[in-house]
Amino acid sequence: MKFTSVAALLIGAAILFPSMASAACSTCTIQSKKQTKDGKFEYKMSCIHDTSGDEIMNTVTAAKDVDAMKMAKGKCP
């Protein structure tokens, strides 16, 4: 009985408090890339929200494509 109660609480917590990964964007693509005066690039990124499927447009400034991808994924709600 004690084990069942603990399992039910853990499952309930997992449903009520989803992980950060479940509310993020795993897919982002570069739409445009312009060089800035400080040697970095301004990227316009298109990301797909994992849970809703909505497209989210972000603008980030980074030195490399990989850094821009990480920043854009981090801006997803």
**CB-based contacts of 5, cutoff 8 Å, min separation 6:** none
pLDDT value of residue 15? 47
Residue 3 in domain = no
Q: How do residues 36-72 score in pLDDT, each as one tens digit?
A: 999 999 999 999 999 999 999 999 999 999 999 999 9
Residue with the larger pLDDT of the pair 74 and 14: 74
Residue 76 lies in a domain: yes
Tell me if 9 is assigned to some domain.
no
Could you give the number of structural domains in the chain? 1
Q: What is the 3-state secondary structure (H, E, C) of the chain?
A: CHHHHHHHHHHHHHHHCCCHHHHCEEEEEEEEEEECCCCCEEEEEEEEECCCCCEEEEEEEECCHHHHHHHHHHCCC
pLDDT, position 64: 95
- 48 assigned to some structural domain: yes
Looking at residue 24, what is its pLDDT? 85
Residue 6 located in a structural domain: no
pLDDT for 12 equals 52
55-62/41-49 β-pairing? antiparallel
Tell the residue number behind the tokens 């997803």, with chain if given: 76
Domain enclosing residue 65, as ranges: 24-77
Q: What pLDDT, on a 0 to 100 scale, did the predictor assign at position 77?
A: 81
